[in-house]
């Protein structure tokens, strides 16, 4: 399942386990069980942003987990989650 992650200071859905920055999540599917099952992959993607450089920043633009080769705003997560 795909999620669009968008950096936010207001009411984050998830926090980066390394730096504590918050992200809103826009889901491809609305099933709570599927969303909960995808959270470990999202946390790992956020950790990976710091992998080579512990002080690295997260992308300022929205990004998809798992990654997607198209424009983020046209991902299924963005379109179905209402972020587009």
pLDDT digits (tens, 9 = 90+) for 20-66: 999 999 888 778 998 999 999 999 999 999 988 877 889 888 888 87
- Residue 84 corresponds to which tokens in the numbers above? 């587009």
Strand ranges (DSSP E) for the chain?
Answer: 3-8, 14-15, 22-27, 63-65
pTM of the model: 0.79
pLDDT of residue 28: 80
* Domain hosting residue 59, numbered range: 3-81
Entry field: residues in the chain: 84
- Residue 69 corresponds to which tokens in the numbers above? 């080769």
How many structural domains does the chain have?
1
Q: How confident is the model at residue 69 (pLDDT cuts 50, 70, 90)?
A: low
- Residue 80 corresponds to which tokens in the numbers above? 């179905």
pLDDT of residue 48: 93
Q: How far apart are CA 11 and CA 57, in angstroms?
A: 20
Flag whether pLDDT at 11 surpasses 90.
yes
């Amino acid at each position: 399942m795909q999620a669009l992650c968008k950096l936010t200071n207001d009411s984050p859905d998830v926090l980066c386990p390394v730096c504590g920055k918050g992200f809103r999540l826009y889901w491809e599917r609305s099933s709570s069980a599927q969303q909960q099952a995808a959270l470990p992959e999202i946390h790992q993607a956020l950790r990976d942003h710091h992998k080579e450089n512990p002080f690295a920043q997260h992308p300022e633009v929205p990004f998809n987990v798992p990654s997607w080769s198209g424009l983020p705003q046209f991902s299924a997560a963005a379109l179905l989650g209402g972020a587009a």
